[in-house]
Structure 1
Amino acid sequence: MIVNQEKTYLVKLSRPVKRGAFTYKPLNEIEMTGKVLAAIVEQDGEDAIDYARPL
């Protein structure tokens, strides 16, 4: 997955993802920056992301 860190994405997770003290849950679509998305992919792998669409 190629992530542009300058864009904002609408993301649907495939499983819960922990970032620091916060846990993102795969309930709804989440709006997040490319930097956060790239960090999730690096830490948890691409399989943690169901889909990510740039806004």
Structure 2
Amino acid sequence: MAFKIDPEKSYDVKLSRVVKRGRFTYYPLNEINMRGTLVEAILAQEGDEVLDYAREV
């Protein structure tokens, strides 16, 4: 599944697994609000299967 992410918008994201990004660890427990630039970086690092969904806010 290819996600189309706009870097200028915010997204409510549900992860499918734990993601480590720099000092932060994101857990797949709840929705996380992220900027599009961070969502794109996580997708580039982990691949499309890391996201259950990403909804534009």
Give the TM bin, normalised by the shorter chain.
over 0.9
- In structure 1, which of residues 19, 27, 39 is the aligned counterpart of residue 21 of structure 2? 19
Alignment-mate amino acid for residue 51 of structure 2: I
Give unmatched runs, 5+ long, in structure 2: none
Match of 1:36 in 2: 38
Verify: 1:45 aligned to 2:20, yes or no: no
Question: How many residue pairs end up in the alignment?
Answer: 55
In structure 1, runs of 5+ residues without a counterpart are none
Q: CA RMSD in A?
A: 0.4
State the TM-score, normalizing by the size of structure 2: 0.94
Segments of 4+ moved more than 6 angstroms: none
Please state whether the residue corresponding to 1:52 is helix, strand or coil: strand
State, as a whole percentage, how many aligned pairs show the same letter: 55
Residue 2 of structure 1: how far off its partner (Å): 1.2
Structure-1 separation of matches of 2:28 and 2:52:
9
